[in-house]
Amino acid sequence: MLKLEKRNKVDSEIPSSSMADIAFLLIIFFMVTTVFSATRGLEFQLPKEEDAAVLDEVEAVIITIRQDTKILVFDEPKELDQLVDYLVEKWLNNNPEKPVILITDPKAPYYAMVNVLDALQRAKEEKNLVKDINVGIPTQREIEEMWGGIV
Amino acid sequence: MKKVKIRPIEANIPTASMADIAFLLIIFFMVTTVFTVDRTNVNLPLSVKREEVPKGAAVVTVTIDQMMKFSGGREESFVVSSAEDLISLAAAEVAKNSLHPFVIKADGEVPFRAVDEVMDRLKQAQVRVLILLTNQKTVES
């Protein structure tokens, strides 16, 4: 008589006991390596060399930042929080296109220039101006070539 | 007296969804991880108004000791020996795309002269779009 052999079923199963361990290891890896880097900043457009309007120092409002971070508007000292109001009241209300030249003493700290530029770029929204303030930031070389040096 | 058999209460935290949550977190961190071309640690100046830096922007780094580094936006940044070399490096990027954005990542305490030199070289290289990298300024700072 034919003896029927009971075939043992072969269980096919991928052991997944270590899946959670691997998953948490990966989480910890990505948590440690994720760098929340600064990816934002103040943007401004540089004019083309040939299109660059010659900055006429007579026409423009000149803001100077001294080595000690003091701000001068045509030799008149102003605090940072008064600067934009002063510009708007004196010139920009009548002539929104009046250019502003920002000149920083080479020995002044960089953050001083950023503070002023930030205040000028925020002016349109904060003071409800018609358009953005036209800010020019000439380099030392340009200042010396065009005006024989001011600072 | 009849003995009452007290059944021990089995405490069991269901862990069936643990793997789902773990993989969700993995995917979150994989998506949010940004591979920056420059990891130099500088103390950035603060500003209220901040625009997003476009992906692939070139980065010029100026550290507190006025060391300069450059990256075209695709490779890891490398040290630049002088500001003059910056002109040719920047011009190469501008030749491919005249509106290629450039980021100046400078320490806030560095003398403006160092940043002025960088800006001057970038202007000479016909760079049109410039972004000064900053951290968020809060009301208290």
Contact check, Cβ <8 Å, A40/B112: no
Mean pLDDT of B42-49: 92
Quote the pLDDT of residue A55. 53
Residue range A61-86: mean pLDDT, rounded: 92
More confident residue, B38 or B45: B45
Whether the per-residue pLDDT at B35 is higher than 70: the answer is no
Confidence of residue A58 (pLDDT cuts 50, 70, 90): low
Helix (H, G, I), strand (E, B) or coil at B61: strand
- What pLDDT is attached to residue B113? 94
Is there a contact between A104 and B132 if contact means CB atoms under 8 Å apart? no
For the ranges A54-58, A100-104, B16-20, the lowest mean pLDDT is seen at A54-58
Q: What is the 3-state secondary structure (H, E, C) of A45-108?
A: ECCCCCCCCCCCCCCCEEEEECCCCCEEECCEEECHHHHHHHHHHHHHCCCCCCCEEEEECCCC
| pLDDT greater than 70 at residue A22 | yes
- Name the band, by pLDDT with cuts 50, 70 and 90, for residue A50: low
Please report where in the chains the tokens 């390596």 appear, as a residue. Answer: A33
ipTM: 0.76
- For the domain A61-147, what is the CATH code? 3.30.420
Average pLDDT (B68-94) is 88
Distance CA B113, CA B119 (A): 10
pLDDT at A109: 96
Give the pLDDT score at A151: 46
**pLDDT exceeds 60 at position A51:** no
B1–chain A nearest CA distance, Å: 48
CB A148 within 8 A of CB A58: no
Distance from CA of B3 to the nearest CA of A (A): 41
Best residue in B120, B129, B132, B138 for a mutation probing chain A (most A CBs within 10 Å): B132
Beta carbons of A37 and B36 less than 8 Å apart: yes
Domain extents in chain B: 46-136
B50, A109: Cβ pair inside 8 Å?
no
The whole-angstrom distance between residue A45's C-alpha and the CA centroid of its chain comes to 12
Bridge partners (DSSP) of residue A65 are A71, A104
The mean per-residue pLDDT over the stretch A20-49 comes to 77
Radius of gyration of chain A from Cα atoms?
A: 32
Check residues A47 and B138 and name the one with the higher pLDDT: B138
CATH code of the domain made up of B46-136 = 3.30.420.270
Identify the pLDDT of residue B76.
81
Structure tokens at B90: 């920047």
Per the CB < 8 Å rule, is A30 touching B47? no
Tell whether B24 lies on the interface with A, counting CB pairs under 8 A: no
